Amino acid sequence: MQSIVVEGKNRLSGEIKVQGAKNSALPILAATVLCDGKTVLTNCPALTDVFSAERILTHLGCRCGFSDNTATVENDGIKNPHIPDTLMSEMRSSIIFLGAILGKTGECSLSFPGGCELGARPIDIHLAALRRMGVSISEEFGMLRCQVSKELHGAKLTLPFPSVGATENIILAATLAKGETVIRNAAREPEIRDVAEFLNKCGADISGAGESTVVIHGVKKLHACEHRIMPDRIVAATYLSAAAITGGEVTLTDIRAEDIESVMPPFEEMGCYTYISPDSVYIKAPKKIKRVKKIITLPHPGFPTDAQAILMAVLCRAEGTSVISENIFESRYKHVPQLVRMGADIKVEGKAAIVGGVSKLFGTTVSATDLRGGAALVIAGLAAEGTTTVTDIAHIDRGYDEIERALSSLGGKVSRI
């Protein structure tokens, strides 16, 4: 089993390019099910979740390749619209394949994605929408069996919550469906816009993606195309946090300014100087960072839940007490006991976490409980006394393309053993 070892107390400085976005790459890989021919995705991060998505595509009958951050998918027909449990359980977001497979073949069976490290992850919004579009769905022994009854058709849908995955699944199903689909209260995350841009290049007719009403007119066919995966705004927030907690000075390149706007205010409140250009961001952190009064996670354009654990790690070392309110997932504080093992002063009360700044964190062995929680421990390790060993890093590898290499390139002493 691999671990990440961090020697603390090294100030980070320099310039780093931000990797492509996991949350854009995964739904776009699912979208290739709809496209005839060879899709080429550049700036695709080398992540275990990306390789899991490629394994699912291979199982469905596509030919996949990956080298130098370029993923290729050759689709000359879906031969098998069923995803076995072994592949489904490799990656929670594999449910995103459902809309695409139904759109292409009219049938699909896959296992129900169970609860995970962030708590229960229901898919009721996805299923209710697909039913409205003409899909009959039955559940037996943890398997979902889905069949288009007569034809897949458009529908006017209002989501009870702007779920990212449900919005993407509906877009994927609607692209080749008959007629018009309107999604109201759609999720507005920038990755959804990237998925729609990809599909539109392939011949789809989608407007409003990234806004709260998305309109999709079904088309008969999609052809493959070449697309560059957008930059990862959560990875950008991670490297900004690494700079902030070490009193560092870092420039991130290949970001999209509008996409990172929602994570910037806490860094400014901490006393960091930041300068944002359309495709880069510079941060210079003070020796001692200030507390942040309140961070409230919300659907985009609110502060992203995926950056919550990472910012919490930084706030452990701030002057004063900060409050975090987690409103997206029911159980997204599993990293807290691990940070406490390092000397952090954090109390969780329901949705709130109260983070008292401490003058020192101490290196020890801690375990990554989930993807972003694991990254938070690496960030905390950068400012801790001595050596921090983060175990269970398979979680981290789901979303970071060699985090140890990235942080080392900025002067951090971070290695994989």
Give the active site residues.
116
Q: Is 144 in the site for ligand UD1 (CB under 6 A)?
A: no
Quick one: 206 exposed, middle or buried, by C-beta within 10 A (0-12, 13-18, 19+)?
buried
Least separation in angstroms between CB 342 and ligand UD1: 24
Q: Is 263 in the site for ligand UD1 (CB under 6 A)?
A: no
Looking up tokens 């739904």, which residue turns up? 27
Q: 359 CB contacts (<8 Å, ≥6 apart)?
A: none
Binding map of ligand UD1 across residues 5-24, x = CB under 6 A, - = no contact: ------------------x-
Least separation in angstroms between CB 131 and ligand UD1: 12
Binding map of ligand UD1 across residues 30-69, x = CB under 6 A, - = no contact: ----------------------------------------
Q: At 55, list the tokens.
A: 């394994």
Q: Is 232 in the site for ligand UD1 (CB under 6 A)?
A: no
Scored b (16 or more CB within 10 A) or e, 126-162 reads: bbebbeebbbebeeeeeebebebeeebbbbebebeeb
Identity of the residue, 123 or 340, whose beta carbon is nearer to ligand UD1 in the bound complex: 123
Question: Which position among 44, 98, 102, 125 is part of the footprint of ligand UD1 (CB under 6 A)?
Answer: 125
Dist CA 97 CA 2 (whole Å): 30
Nearest to 61 by CA among 74, 46, 48: 74
Q: Is 328 in the site for ligand UD1 (CB under 6 A)?
A: yes
Q: Is the peptide bond before 301 cis (omega within 30 degrees of 0)?
A: yes
CA dist list (Å): 393 to 3, 24, 245, 375, 377: 6, 22, 21, 9, 10
Q: Is 163 in the site for ligand UD1 (CB under 6 A)?
A: yes
Q: CB–CB of 266/283 below 8 Å?
A: no
Q: Is 302 in the site for ligand UD1 (CB under 6 A)?
A: no
C-beta atoms surrounding 214 within 10 Å: 25
3-class state of residue 408 by DSSP: helix
Q: At 36, list the tokens.
A: 């005839």
Identity of the residue, 305 or 388, whose beta carbon is nearer to ligand UD1 in the bound complex: 305
Question: Which position among 40, 78, 123, 143 is part of the footprint of ligand UD1 (CB under 6 A)?
Answer: 123
Q: Is 161 in the site for ligand UD1 (CB under 6 A)?
A: yes
Dist CA 166 CA 244 (whole Å): 34
Least separation in angstroms between CB 405 and ligand UD1: 22
Q: CB–CB of 180/196 below 8 Å?
A: no
* Cα 61 off chain centre by: 26
Least separation in angstroms between CB 44 and ligand UD1: 14
Total of chain residues touching ligand UD1, rule CB under 6 A: 19
Window of 123-131, 178-186, 258-266, 279-287 that interacts with ligand UD1 by CB under 6 A: 123-131
Identity of the residue, 38 or 92, whose beta carbon is nearer to ligand UD1 in the bound complex: 92
Question: Which position among 43, 93, 94, 246 is part of the footprint of ligand UD1 (CB under 6 A)?
Answer: 93
Binding map of ligand UD1 across residues 166-195, x = CB under 6 A, - = no contact: x--------------------x--------
Could you list the residues that contact ligand UD1 (CB under 6 A)?
Answer: 23, 26, 93, 121-126, 161, 163-166, 187, 305-306, 328-329
